[in-house]
């Protein structure tokens, strides 16, 4: 039980950071790097889409992944296979998009 409570306490700031990254991808990409530019840098649409995709995948996938390990529920063990597949398919779709 203590493992679950500690995991939830540690996940709260991480989830808040990921939600901020999803809603403000330009700011999250430039955290700690703004000093390198004299003007506001232009971030590509692919980088913004990729950042939003990764943050959304992590917001959903990380709690399911950790619960499957902690609680040892077999149906959640399927997430260990599905989330990498979703990541690969989503990344391929983002990088092969020719609209940019």
- For the stretch 76-99, pLDDT in tens is 777 778 878 888 888 788 778 755
Residue 38 burial class via C-beta count within 10 angstroms: exposed 0-12, middle 13-18, buried 19 and up: exposed
Is residue 60 domain-resident? yes
Task: Tell me the C-alpha distance between 3 and 66, whole Å.
Answer: 11
The answer, yes or no, to whether residue 75 has pLDDT greater than 60, is yes
The whole-angstrom separation of Cα 29 and Cα 48 is: 8
Residue 14 included in any domain:
yes
CA atoms within 13 A on the CB side of 19: 6
In a domain, 55, yes or no: yes
- 32 lies in a domain? no
Q: Given a cut of 60, is residue 16 above it in pLDDT? A: yes
Classify residue 35: in a domain, yes or no: no
33 in a domain, yes or no?
no
Number of domains in the chain: 1
Residue 21: give the domain boundaries. 2-27+42-95
Highest-pLDDT range among 4-18, 30-44, 79-93? 4-18
């Amino acid at each position: 039980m203590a493992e679950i409570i500690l995991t939830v306490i540690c996940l709260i700031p991480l989830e808040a950071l990921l939600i901020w990254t999803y809603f403000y991808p330009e700011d999250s990409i430039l955290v700690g790097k703004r000093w390198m530019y004299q003007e506001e840098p232009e971030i590509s649409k692919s980088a913004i889409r990729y950042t939003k995709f990764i943050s959304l995948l992590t917001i959903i996938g990380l709690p399911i992944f950790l619960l499957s390990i902690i609680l040892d529920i077999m149906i959640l063990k399927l997430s260990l296979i599905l989330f990498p597949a979703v990541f690969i398919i989503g990344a391929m779709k983002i990088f092969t998009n020719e609209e940019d």
